[in-house]
Chains A and B, each alone.
Chain A
């Protein structure tokens, strides 16, 4: 999946949990889920579950703390779907 397409999928996944609409409208690979989008920690777990469902992958518990940004999520997804 191309990066542009991947960002679009992630944008759809995170949308219900975002609390900063301005940051959401300018989402990039550098966008931080908590600091920029203001997604709370519990909803970050929801994002992880939604990513698992969409891509049919499993994100291991010890990989949770890697899920800090759009770019980090993209790298993890790319690694698990190649």
Chain B
């Protein structure tokens, strides 16, 4: 199972007052204390958001059926790089990637994250849309598993989870997709 989320920091600017209302809506007391330590930097806020969203996508693939309520997901970020999300007494380790332009979170098996099963892409257009991201992900899956060109399709199931088909046959490769502003990211599991 995999889950990911990317936020374009260049398009996520809001007023200070609105930022604080957003913080009050979606973060618990411990998360707000963490954000206060960093003077509510946008990159910190969107990092925690990406962690919650990634974890939601991950647990949905496990059959977790509830709607996304950000307060159900509790983020823990240590000072030295380690980050995890807790839900229902389960903990999920996060891989975080932060640049000046985006924050990105990936949750999933180590092999997917370390062996090329994920990447952040920059759109060739004004914004990254689903079609462009699907194309990047399909090309990457074809290349990684040696499938012939144009044989891979991505279809959303009834729960809107992306599923992989090769020559119309379902394949047990888990996939998570995220796009925001100029950026898109895919993360897929090993077979």
Interface residues of A (CB under 8 A from B): 34-35, 40-42, 45-46, 48-49, 61-62, 64-65, 68
Q: Across the interface, do B53 and A41 meet the contact criterion of CB distance under 8 Å?
A: yes
Q: For residue A11, give the distance in angstroms from its CB to the closest CB of chain B.
A: 21
Q: For residue A77, give the distance in angstroms from its CB to the closest CB of chain B.
A: 17
Q: For residue B60, give the distance in angstroms from its CB to the closest CB of chain A.
A: 12
Note all chain A residues with C-beta closer than 8 A to B180.
Answer: 40
Q: Across the interface, do B18 and A41 meet the contact criterion of CB distance under 8 Å?
A: no
- Decide yes or no: A68 and B67 within 8 Å by CB, A40-B180, A41-B53, A42-B7 being known contacts: yes
Q: How far is the CA of A22 from the CA of B67 in the complex (A)?
A: 24
Q: Across the interface, do B25 and A48 meet the contact criterion of CB distance under 8 Å?
A: yes
Q: How far is the CA of A49 from the CA of B22 in the complex (A)?
A: 8
Q: A41-B68, A62-B69 are in contact. List 15 more A-B contacts (CB 8 A).
A: A34-B160, A40-B180, A41-B53, A41-B56, A42-B7, A42-B49, A42-B53, A45-B26, A46-B22, A48-B25, A64-B25, A64-B69, A64-B71, A65-B69, A68-B67
When the two chains form the complex, which single residue of B18, B21, B68 contacts A65, counting CB atoms closer than 8 Å? B68
Q: How far is the CA of A40 from the CA of B12 in the complex (A)?
A: 13
Q: How far is the CA of A61 from the CA of B29 in the complex (A)?
A: 13
Q: Across the interface, do B71 and A61 meet the contact criterion of CB distance under 8 Å?
A: yes
Q: How far is the CA of A34 from the CA of B60 in the complex (A)?
A: 15
When the two chains form the complex, which single residue of A40, A42, A49 contacts B21, counting CB atoms closer than 8 Å? A49
Residue B70 lies at the interface, judged by CB distance under 8 Å to chain A: yes
Note all chain A residues with C-beta closer than 8 A to B67.
Answer: 65, 68
Note all chain B residues with C-beta closer than 8 A to A61.
Answer: 25-26, 71
When the two chains form the complex, which single residue of A34, A40, A46, A64 contacts B70, counting CB atoms closer than 8 Å? A64
18 A/B residue pairs, CB under 8 Å, sorted by A: A35-B160, A40-B180, A41-B53, A41-B56, A42-B7, A42-B49, A45-B22, A45-B25, A45-B70, A46-B22, A48-B25, A49-B18, A49-B25, A61-B26, A62-B69, A64-B69, A65-B67, A68-B67
Closest to B180 in A: A40
Q: For residue A52, give the distance in angstroms from its CB to the closest CB of chain B.
A: 8
Q: How far is the CA of A42 from the CA of B26 in the complex (A)?
A: 10
Q: For residue A40, give the distance in angstroms from its CB to the closest CB of chain B.
A: 7
Q: For residue A48, give the distance in angstroms from its CB to the closest CB of chain B.
A: 7
Residue B66 lies at the interface, judged by CB distance under 8 Å to chain A: yes
Top 9 closest pairs, chain A to chain B, by CB: A65-B69, A65-B67, A64-B69, A61-B71, A41-B68, A49-B21, A45-B25, A45-B22, A41-B53
